Structure 1
Amino acid sequence: MLTQAGVIREECNGVIIDGIYYEKEVLKSDIDRPYLLAVDYSTNTVYFSYNAVMNNDVLYKTAFINLNTKSNGDVDGVTNGFAQTVDQKTHEIYIGGSDGIYKYNHKSKKAEFFGAADTDVWMIYYKDSLYYSDFPKQFLYTYIDGVSTRFKDLEDTKVDQFVIDNEDMLFYTNASGLYAQKKGTKDAILYNNNKTVRSLATDVNGNVYVCEIDDIYKVNKERHALDKVTDVDDCFGLAFDNENNIIYSDATSLVRFKQSLNKDC
């Protein structure tokens, strides 16, 4: 039986992270490239996008799974729902589509157009205000009081993935690698020039994690480096539930590493 940290154990089908055993729970399978995960901690619901085929055309759809009840479904009313984020203070869900930003009400199951009209939204993130990037330019904007403004700290920088941590440090990726930059400055720190980063996420404490093709890492700000957390196979998306368990997606499934009390593993 393997005991090395972060190694998947065949007998138990889980992983050991920081000396704690986590079971591998498949939340949903047979979905095409679930991506850009976001969790509403108040309801413990994960939102994600996936590829859907309609009339021989490939479209993007936003879907959800309640991690407590396992109820799930699609979010209707969004044109090509691709990116999602949650304001954890108000528990409002924002979804980026191919024609702008929508706000989704989980209780009423309705999505209403919110702003950034005629914008093909690439990424979206909420931290004190709403941030988004567009496609194909991939420039970063803030959306405040109905107005979109280029984010001045990265005015001339393309942004693919991005998150903001618990100390207002913005982590972002582009074709050059993974960078960190304190909000209010233009001083970027290169963390990794690896081109295989597929997803960035913050946990419930605001710590930053990185999903590469076959590994999950935690950002180490003291060393300006990445510390490996565990192996995964073909990682696409990354998030954390309200108990700080890792959720990730591969090309066809949504998976959670859930802490277990199984003493035999």
Structure 2
Amino acid sequence: MDFKISSFITPSMIIRLYILLSAAVSSKAVPEVACNRIKIGENWYDRDTLWGNIGRPYNLNVHRGSNSLFFSYSLPETYSDVDFQLAYFNIDSREYQTIAGIRGGCSVAIDQMNDDIYLGGSDGIYKYNMLTKLADFYKEKGKNIWSLFFKKNLFYISYPDQKLHIEFDGKFATVKEFENFEIDYFHVSSANVIYFANKTGLYKYDNDKMVAQVVNELITVRQIVEDNEGDTYIVSNFGVFADGKFEGLKKILDMKNIYGLAFDKDNNFIYSDEKNIIKLEYSVVGCDKKHVHW
């Protein structure tokens, strides 16, 4: 029996075939969208950029009472008299502002219990007033403040000698146990584990034996921070490490361009890279490996 193919092809079939072919061609021409989620440990998170296009944000700290992020960032080289600037960003209202009046402002420490926000620059320590949005001079006039930390007492690290000082009875004094160490970062955890870091690596200090124990001599520490549940994280040039109570230092985020880390009032991760401050929110959906975008 001799059938003619044309007798089975209708105009509607031709139209549908054309649509199918067009869709196949267009789907190949459009690039696949990269996944904007990030994985930490076994969990996936969506990224929300809070503040973009700023110079390398460091020293991220959240005042939990107002859910405001305080941090420092570097200014363009065209500014000859100032190299660092302090700022804050309210995570709830998205209100933000640079903090005036602190020359070379580069450090932050927060007493969460008393709502005291300490800021450091190249000419001493200041306290930030949340109502007036102004920084008032506090102490250590003329001292160049490299870093600040608060745990029952206020500590600061002076520059360029990198010495640790503690406030006691209204005055600051050098911490005798650390007189022989240069210190870039200092932290005392909720479990009273003492960490410090310098150019030679990360250490824990044994208060009973009065000796420093090496944790890692290969990493360059950029921040030591604790979340709202008391877990300690180390931000380094090799990524972010969590210091577990039993298993020791464990890498949870393999990202080399991370410079700061903090946790908001709901314990969400907030981190910074070279130009952005990004909030992470838990996601029930993950990404395929080929779609992951760092």
TM-score (norm 1): 0.89
Q: Is the 8 A contact 2:37 2:286 kept in 1?
A: no
Choose the corresponding residue for 1:105, options 126, 129, 149. 129
User: Structure 1 residues 142 and 206, CA, compared in 2 at 3 Å: closer, same or farther?
Assistant: same
Q: Give the Å deviation of 1:110.
A: 1.2
User: Structure 1 residues 133 and 102, CA, compared in 2 at 3 Å: closer, same or farther?
Assistant: same
Return the alpha-carbon distance in structure 1 between the equivalents of residues 56 and 41 of structure 2.
29
Return the alpha-carbon distance in structure 2 between the equivalents of residues 19 and 248 of structure 1.
18
Return the alpha-carbon distance in structure 1 between the equivalents of residues 104 and 39 of structure 2.
37
Return the alpha-carbon distance in structure 2 between the equivalents of residues 42 and 183 of structure 1.
32
Q: Any residues of structure 2 matched to 1:15-94 within 5 Å, and which?
A: 15-53=38-76, 55-94=79-118
Q: Give the Å deviation of 1:189.
A: 1.6
Higher mean C-alpha deviation, range 193-202 or range 125-134: 193-202
Choose the corresponding residue for 1:173, options 190, 197, 204. 197
Within the alignment, does 1:186 sit opposite 2:210 as a pair?
A: yes
Q: What's the Cα RMSD here? A: 2.0
Q: Is the 8 A contact 1:153 1:184 kept in 2?
A: no
Q: Give the Å deviation of 1:106.
A: 1.5
Return the alpha-carbon distance in structure 2 between the equivalents of residues 183 and 151 of structure 1.
13
Question: How many equivalent pairs are there?
Answer: 255
Q: Any residues of structure 2 matched to 1:228-239 within 5 Å, and which?
A: 228-239=251-262
Report the 3-state secondary structure (helix = DSSP H, G, I; strand = E; otherwise coil) of the residue aligned with 1:153: helix
Return the alpha-carbon distance in structure 2 between the equivalents of residues 183 and 82 of structure 1.
29
User: Structure 1 residues 34 and 262, CA, compared in 2 at 3 Å: closer, same or farther?
Assistant: same
Q: Which has the larger radius of gyration?
A: 2
Q: Is the 8 A contact 1:200 1:210 kept in 2?
A: yes
Higher mean C-alpha deviation, range 178-187 or range 71-80: 178-187
Q: Give the Å deviation of 1:38.
A: 0.9
Q: Any residues of structure 2 matched to 1:5-24 within 5 Å, and which?
A: 11-24=34-47
Q: Give the Å deviation of 1:68.
A: 1.1
Of Structure 1 and Structure 2, which has the larger fraction of its residues in helix? 2
Report the 3-state secondary structure (helix = DSSP H, G, I; strand = E; otherwise coil) of the residue aligned with 2:75: strand
Q: Is the 8 A contact 1:12 1:23 kept in 2?
A: no
Q: Any residues of structure 2 matched to 1:103-142 within 5 Å, and which?
A: 103-142=127-166
Q: Give the Å deviation of 1:243.
A: 1.6
User: Structure 1 residues 264 and 180, CA, compared in 2 at 3 Å: closer, same or farther?
Assistant: closer
Report the 3-state secondary structure (helix = DSSP H, G, I; strand = E; otherwise coil) of the residue aligned with 2:53: coil
Between the two proteins, what is the percent identity of the paired residues?
A: 31
Q: Give the Å deviation of 1:187.
A: 2.4
Return the alpha-carbon distance in structure 2 between the equivalents of residues 197 and 264 of structure 1.
29
Q: Give the Å deviation of 1:114.
A: 0.5
Q: Give the Å deviation of 1:52.
A: 2.3
Name the counterpart of 2:276. Answer: 253
Q: Give the Å deviation of 1:186.
A: 1.6
Return the alpha-carbon distance in structure 1 between the equivalents of residues 265 and 208 of structure 2.
30
Q: Give the Å deviation of 1:120.
A: 0.2
The answer for unaligned runs of 5 or more in structure 2 is 1-32, 289-294
Amino acid at match of 2:239: D
Q: Is the 8 A contact 1:35 1:49 kept in 2?
A: yes
User: Structure 1 residues 63 and 183, CA, compared in 2 at 3 Å: closer, same or farther?
Assistant: farther
Residue by residue, what CA displacement relative to the aligned partner does 1:140-199 show, whole Å, maximum 9, x if unpaired? 010233311111221211111121101111111012210112456522221100142222
Higher mean C-alpha deviation, range 95-104 or range 177-186: 177-186
Residue by residue, what CA displacement relative to the aligned partner does 1:5-57 show, whole Å, maximum 9, x if unpaired? xxxxx843112334332111111111011111111111111101112246544
Name the counterpart of 1:4. Answer: none
The answer for unaligned runs of 5 or more in structure 1 is 1-9
Residue by residue, what CA displacement relative to the aligned partner does 1:223-265 show, whole Å, maximum 9, x if unpaired? 4x31111222411112111222221111111112222355888
Amino acid at match of 1:32: G
User: Structure 1 residues 80 and 184, CA, compared in 2 at 3 Å: closer, same or farther?
Assistant: farther
